[in-house]
Structure 1
């Protein structure tokens, strides 16, 4: 019996995540899991898609809760046997919250960086050969968005590891709590630092997977979906959610050969280490 392929999208109940699920249901030959923290919101999103003649599968997944992550992993492992596409879309923008910068930083790093790291740590062991992993970064996740050259050097370090990167993220949170983040050269935006972390993590994940002895030939890339009209942009974005989903869907469907690359909303590769950030839309 032929094993059905499996795609998983986190934060799939609205915005870009919803559009990614929709696009995969239309183009991906396999089961598409729409996951969301809220069971009600997730089920409502599935109902909307079924009204369009599509057939996603809902499963609750809170990417900030390790018990929820492990429950989902066990379900997928038992029910499907593995994962062929993992799109880490869930995330937040907390820069405008009226809370202390230390709390903003901690919340943002936890929900944007550590959530992806923890989901990947749980699901990477059950990725099938030739799997595609797409991490949602941002134009804000370009290394040039970190103002200090010395701070950028930490992310350029050829000896950087995931453990060192996580310590760097923790250092940033502590610098915010101690009001040293500007003088240390991090810049003023927790969102930027979290997405630079996601970008760097994606490159390191590809490097680690390339060293696997069993050679599963897994692809990890990270995307800037564009400046999209969503809740996260306060609906100031100029692109539709369908346009914002295009780069993720392009990577998910394979046939690109890209590994550890920063892919812009137009599906073109951008130099993450370059001196300037291209236009965000």
Structure 2
């Protein structure tokens, strides 16, 4: 049976490159390119068709629960579930953006962590046996890990549930509103904090899948590296296709692979915490 794959936020950048790679590597597979804006999504589809590829399109706004639910229902109806999920959608305030950290924290957390978690909670129930989940983490997560206090590291190391991670992320946002986040060991970066949150969430979800009745479902995350995208203002030492490599590697881990809840860098496990 043909595998069904889906990439969030994939009308451009690394997500677009992931769709391209999956179309090439999944023989006979069905690959969904998703975009919040239907017009931009369909334009991206046409670009890939010019390359001889044949992705499918589905509208998806990860900040809209109705949109996520509609996607789930359509996948269940059309394909009986999902085999591969690459969670790519994310936002980043540029370094010189004048928006106060308090506001950056709320907006960035809402997309990069809360919406990410909502996609997981909505789509995980329709994952098929042998499914793979690959979420975009970042090299900034290990950078944050080196800068936070030992007490905060201990708190990350002792999370047991998704809600434990949710509480940590909510604490950062709340403290940032009154500029008291440093008093509790956090640093001045909403983006780095959200990506550490994704890593912590992945750890919990990967371990939870070991007790799932569906066999061989793996949940991991991946650091694409420093990639030339809109988020990096065109800087970086990797192309988008190179940035997609580790994400797609994780999404295509072969049957029987035992790695779960980890972050990968350059197609290898990065045990930074």
**Quick one: which of 17, 21, 24 aligns to 1:23?**
21
Match of 2:138 in 1: 138
> Structure 2 matches for 1:1-281, cutoff 5 A?
3-29=1-27, 30-94=29-93, 96=95, 97-142=97-142, 144-157=145-158, 159-212=159-212, 214-255=213-254, 256-264=257-265, 266-273=266-273
- TM-score with structure 1 setting the length: 0.92
Q: What is the Cα deviation at residue 272 of structure 1?
A: 2.7
Q: Please list every run of at least 4 consecutive aligned residues from structure 1 whose deviation after the TM superposition is greater than 4 angstroms.
A: none
What per-residue deviation string (whole Å, max 9, x for no partner) do you get for residues 98-125 of structure 1?
A: 2221110011111101111100101111
Mapped partners of 1:145, 1:14: distance in 2:
31
Mapped partners of 2:268, 2:253: distance in 1:
14
Q: What is the Cα deviation at residue 183 of structure 1?
A: 2.1
Answer yes or no: is the 8 Å Cα contact 1:130–1:219 preserved in 2: yes
- TM-score with structure 2 setting the length: 0.95
Answer yes or no: is the 8 Å Cα contact 1:61–1:69 preserved in 2: yes
Mapped partners of 2:258, 2:136: distance in 1:
18
Mapped partners of 1:129, 1:179: distance in 2:
45
Which blocks of at least 5 consecutive residues in structure 1 are unaligned?
Answer: 274-281
Cα-Cα RMSD: 1.3
Mapped partners of 1:153, 1:178: distance in 2:
24
What per-residue deviation string (whole Å, max 9, x for no partner) do you get for residues 213-247 of structure 1?
A: x1432001111001000000111111000100001
Which blocks of at least 5 consecutive residues in structure 2 are unaligned?
Answer: none
SS in 2 for 1:245: helix
Mapped partners of 1:125, 1:226: distance in 2:
30
Mapped partners of 1:235, 1:14: distance in 2:
13
Count of residues paired in the alignment: 268
Match of 1:277 in 2: none
Residues 85 and 175 from structure 1, CA distance in 2 versus in 1: closer, same or farther, beyond 3 angstroms? same
Answer yes or no: is the 8 Å Cα contact 1:95–1:189 preserved in 2: no
Q: What is the Cα deviation at residue 4 of structure 1?
A: 2.2
Q: What is the Cα deviation at residue 57 of structure 1?
A: 0.4
Match of 1:279 in 2: none
